[in-house]
Amino acid sequence: MPRNKKFRRIGYLSTIKHFAPIKRNNIMNNSSDDIILNNEEFETIRLIDYKGYTQVECSKSMNIARTTVQQLYTDARYKLSLLLLEGRHLFIEGGVVQLVDDESLEKEIGIGENEVFRMRQRRNRGRQFRNNNEDRF
> Residues 42-86: pLDDT tens digits?
999 999 998 888 899 888 888 889 999 999 999 999 999 998 888
Confidence category of residue 126, pLDDT binned at 50, 70, 90 = low
Residue 14: per-residue pLDDT: 85
Residue 131: per-residue pLDDT: 62
Q: How far apart are CA 56 and CA 20, in angstroms?
A: 32
Please return the burial class of 3, using the count of CB atoms within 10 Å of its CB with bins 0-12, 13-18 and 19+: exposed
3-state secondary structure of 96: coil
3-state secondary structure of 19: strand
Point out which residues pair with 91 in neighbouring strands. Answer: 18, 36
Nearest to 87 by CA among 133, 27, 46: 27
Residue 133: per-residue pLDDT: 59
More confident residue, 87 or 81: 81
Residue 30: per-residue pLDDT: 57
Give the contacts of 17 (CB within 8 A, at least 6 positions apart).
91, 92, 93
Give the contacts of 71 (CB within 8 A, at least 6 positions apart).
none
Residue 75: per-residue pLDDT: 95
Confidence category of residue 9, pLDDT binned at 50, 70, 90 = confident
Which numeric CATH code is attached to 33-131? Answer: 1.10.10
Give the contacts of 95 (CB within 8 A, at least 6 positions apart).
8, 38, 39, 40, 41
Average pLDDT over residues 104-122: 61
Confidence category of residue 7, pLDDT binned at 50, 70, 90 = confident
> Residues 16-48: pLDDT tens digits?
898 888 765 555 555 568 899 999 999 999 999
